[in-house]
Structure 1
Amino acid sequence: MKNNNILELCLAHGLGGLEMFVASCYEEFSKKGRCKVVVAPQSKLDNYLEINDKFSLKRNKFFPFIPALQLAKYIDENEIDIVHFHWSKDIVTAVLAKILSRKKPRLVQSRHMGMTRFKDDFYHKWLYKNIDMIHAVTQQVQKQLEKFIPAEVRPEIAMVHLGVKAPKIDTNKVAELRQKYQLQDTFVVGIVGRIEKGKGQYKVLEAVADLQEENIKAVIVGAFMDDKYAQELQTYVKKLGIEQQVIFTGFTKDVDVHMQLFDVNVLATENETFGLVVIEAMANKIPVIATCKGGPLEIIDDGVDGLLFDGSVDDLGEKIRLLHNDLHVKERIAQAALKKVKEKFDFTAQLDKLYRVMK
């Protein structure tokens, strides 16, 4: 198989599943050949990637030719064969750079979000005509792409689920955190991700408040994306009277270590496209309760290797209560989840599959 020079492009400023996938692609593709990465300067992804070989590029919404010219020059200087981009807002920069470069690299987009409207106007047809392949992270996303992008300009579409590494757990760190957060003899409900309303942390808080007769605590892992919402959520904790049952850890790179504190991990997003945190929890042998929409439907067999809830606080509370009260069910689900993630969502296997279809 020919080795291609790959460029990973992401000018987003957050550090969620999409950006972490960029880091994963860079890490794995660098083992197979030459791989470069382009990020926004001083972005969270820029700070997360502890490598010297990064090219910084500022997105320009109003004058996209400026960053596109810089990117085109970088593509030609580094003889890039494939530009792999992830953030939908980077599409214009990527397409213009391809057109302006001498190299004319193959353009591949990993589509992490669903598509909800037709792309049949002249502008979008021009954009998609210049993309060579779209990687859909779920079957649902693949169907949406086939529905909303006109056939005459639709790029090749390949569906490859995301994967996750087998966790390496520092048991001493886990013990230290358990002591720090005073979680001994406590049933821990965890939720991991950016703290914003759409991620549904408030549902976990309400469910824990409804289960106050049980010895349950909520551990919320992630960074607040908005100071105003941070204040609102912390005020809500006080209103619910559960200050002693809620721990906000802030952002951490040690997600696996924190997951080891959990008895159950919740994905409460209204409609998550995939849900990387779901398979991360499964790899940690932690039962998952996830909203029964979007990506979790392609990951979880309800009642077998995870639990799906209808999005309501009442149903979430019932699912938490089930795992709290029946340790046999909890252990059975955890074992089945670990087995499935090894078979279907292995990090190296999935990225190797993506690497092959990209070329």
Structure 2
Amino acid sequence: MGIGGAERWVVETAMALLQKGYTVKIYTASWDPNRCFPETKDGTLEIVKPHFLGIPRTIFGKFQAICALWRCFLLTIWMLWREERRETSLVIVDAVSSPLLVLKLFGIPSFFYCHFPDLLLAKRENRSYLYNCYRNWMDKIEEYTLSLAQKIVVNSNFTAQVFQRTFPKLAKKGSISVLYPCIAVNWTAAFEAQHQTPTTTIVSLNRFEWKKHVDLLIYAVAYIRDAQLLDKEQWNNLSVVIAGGYDPRIDENVACLQHLESLVQQLDLKDKFEFLVNISDQSRQSLLSKCKMVVYTPVNEHFGIVPLEAMAMKKPVIACNSGGPKETIIHGETGLLCEDSPKEIARAIAKLLKDEKWSQQLGEKGFYRVQQCFSREATANQLDEIVSELLLETGRNNK
């Protein structure tokens, strides 16, 4: 329960269920009050975290997957021991599928929310024979435990297609539902953002991970300078803030941030970039309200909550033309979809900066798209249907 997009989905889903009258508790093996969303800290959502599981995050920096499997497995046993099983109507399992085995044994209805198959997230290139044997074993466990869920729900049509190709046997057993992540639409914040004088040109929001491809934005800014896509005044006023989740315990976070800072220095762009880590929700909203656009660089992102956050603040979004953003952004209407090259990203940035009226129109249309398709209300209604259907099938009370 950190501050990434998957964790944001958990929070928004819990809030949507509360809105529909359900009683909700979030059980997690990891929660840090210094790195969490405010709803999990201020009492809005009940967070239950045992302190005696005894399973580390990794073993000598390795075996993260099996540690997560056992942590969640023991967490589920502890949850059912702590709670009266008859009072638990439904368990939503997120990210790690091992709890599904325990829930099946105890007859507790469940559905699994798949952000992306773990099987495809593991890096297998140039790995040892022993590692590949370990991963094959983990992959089989993942597929078996997923088969125990009453229903599988994914975050986008893109992920649904990937899931069906990855687990064809599971896909044949039943339909896979798509439940888009949602965000709370704040009319007041969006109005204020639209009428503020921007102090930052571009904002990039991501965890500091290689797959987020943030170096693409840095190379794009260098291309803008070298190709002189902006006049002198526009270039002098251009500024970029790169912000995101950062955990010093995770080697990838540390190495990625160091690489991005080094790249900025190598390209002589230090005066154009600012890096921020673990910003608060208030700071995040402030960044979005004071920028001219948001550039979202991940390629084949499973869904991507950042474009929705930008559109909810009436800001145009530039994103790579792949994965989830193809479902959230309408090219030329609510933002721009580009090929993942510095040249294309640079041209899109310059295009928006040179036509501020059009840029504002993109932001307006993006806001209404979020309200209609990705608001908490829209997700709450769809989620209520899924939960009610499962509870009806199992004869459990639904609220």
TM-score by length of 2: 0.74
* 1:329 partnered with 2:358: yes
For residues 54 and 366 of structure 2, what CA distance do their matches in structure 1 show? 40
Superposition RMSD on alpha carbons, in Å?
A: 3.1
Q: Any idea what SS the aligned residue of 1:242 has? A: coil
Structure 1 equivalent of residue 239 of structure 2: 217
Residue aligning to 2:148? 130
Higher relative contact order (CA 8 A, sep 6+): 2
2:203 aligns with 190
2: CA distance, partners of 1:239 / 1:143: 40
Q: Does 1:55 align with 2:48?
A: yes
Residue in 2 that maps onto 1:28: 16
Q: Distance in 2 between matches of 1:105 and 1:113?
A: 24
Question: How far does the alpha carbon of each residue in 1:82-113 deviate from its partner, in whole angstroms, 9 at most, with x for none?
Answer: 110211xx211x12321343xx2211111112
Report the CA distance shift for 1:71/1:97 in structure 2 as closer, same or farther (over 3 A): farther
Task: Report SS of the residue matched to 2:144.
Answer: helix
Task: Tell me how far apart the structure 2 counterparts of residues 309 and 25 of structure 1 sit (CA, whole Å).
Answer: 30
Percent identity (aligned) = 20
Structure 1's 300 and 125: CA in aligned 2 closer, same or farther, altered over 3 A?
closer
More helix by share: 2
C-alpha contact 1:14 1:44 (8 A) present in aligned 2: no
Unmatched runs of 5 consecutive residues or more in structure 2: 56-65, 121-135, 226-231, 248-252, 389-399
Q: How does 1:1-359 map to 2 (within 5 A)?
A: 14-31=2-19, 32-43=21-32, 47-48=36-37, 49-50=40-41, 51=43, 53-57=46-50, 58=53, 60=55, 61=66, 64=70, 66-77=74-85, 79-87=87-95, 90-92=96-98, 94-101=99-106, 104-113=107-116, 123-124=141-142, 126-147=144-165, 148-151=167-170, 154-167=173-186, 188-212=201-225, 213=232, 214=235, 215-225=237-247, 226-251=253-278, 252-254=280-282, 255-359=284-388
Give the TM-score taking structure 1 as reference length.
0.82
Letter in 2 for 1:165: A
More off after superposition, 66-75 vs 326-335: 66-75
Do the aligned residues in 2 keep the contact of 1:69 with 1:100 (CA within 8 Å)?
no
1:332 deviation in Å? 2.1
| In structure 2, distance between residues paired with 1:152 and 1:330 | 41
| Superposed displacement of residue 249, structure 1 | 2.6
d(CA) in 2 for partners of 1:72, 1:100: 11
Whole-Å separation in 2 of the counterparts to 1:151 and 1:244: 51
> Residue 313 of structure 1: CA displacement?
0.7
Whole-angstrom distance in 2 between the partners of 1:303 and 1:53:
41
SS of the residue corresponding to residue 110 of structure 1 reads strand
User: What is the rounded CA distance, in whole Å, between the counterparts of 2:118 and 2:31 in structure 1?
Assistant: 29
How far apart, in 2, do the equivalents of 1:287 and 1:16 lie? 22
Q: Determine the C-alpha separation between the residues in 1 that align with 2:285 and 2:153.
A: 27
Q: What is the CA distance between 1:217 and its match in structure 2?
A: 0.6
Distance 1:209 1:72, change over 3 A: same
Instruction: In structure 2, give the amino acid aligned to 1:203.
Output: L
Code of the residue aligned with 2:17 in structure 1: it is F
SS in 2 for 1:337: helix
Task: Count the aligned residue pairs.
Answer: 333
Letter in 1 for 2:281: K
1:122 and 1:207 map into 2 onto residues whose CA distance is 41
Is the 1:201–1:268 contact (alpha carbons within 8 Å) kept by the matching residues of 2? Answer: yes
- Whether the 8 Å contact between 2:12 and 2:183 is mirrored in structure 1 is no
Structure 1: stretches of 5+ with no match in the other structure: 1-12, 179-183
The structural deviation recorded for 1:357 is: 1.1
Q: What's the offset of the Cα at 1:75?
A: 4.7
CA deviation after TM superposition for structure 1 residue 244, in Å: 1.6
Q: What per-residue deviation string (whole Å, max 9, x for no partner) do you get for residues 220-256 of structure 1? A: 1213342233222212222221222112232222222
Using a 3 Å threshold, how does the CA distance of structure 1 residues 29 and 211 change in structure 2: closer, same or farther? same
**Alpha-carbon separation, structure 2, partners of 1:115 and 1:39:** 18
- 1:28 to 1:272, Cα distance in 2 relative to 1, 3 A: same
Amino acid across the alignment from 1:34: T
Distance 1:53 1:78 in 2: 19
d(CA) in 1 for partners of 2:329, 2:143: 35
Q: Is the 8 A contact 1:128 1:155 kept in 2?
A: no
Alpha-carbon distance in 2 for matches of 1:38, 1:311? 38
Q: Is the alpha carbon distance of 1:272 and 1:59 closer, same or farther for their aligned partners in structure 2, counting shifts above 3 Å?
A: farther
Question: Does the CA-based 8 Å contact 1:305-1:334 persist in structure 2?
Answer: yes
Q: Distance in 2 between matches of 1:352 and 1:216?
A: 42
- d(CA) in 2 for partners of 1:35, 1:198: 33
2:219 alignment partner, SS class? helix
Post-superposition shift, 1:14? 3.7
- Asked if 2 retains the 8 angstrom alpha-carbon contact of 1:84 and 1:108, the reply is yes
| Cα deviations by residue, 1:140-199 (Å, 9 ceiling, x for unpaired) | 22233334241587355211222221136669x98xxx9xxxxx7766111112122221
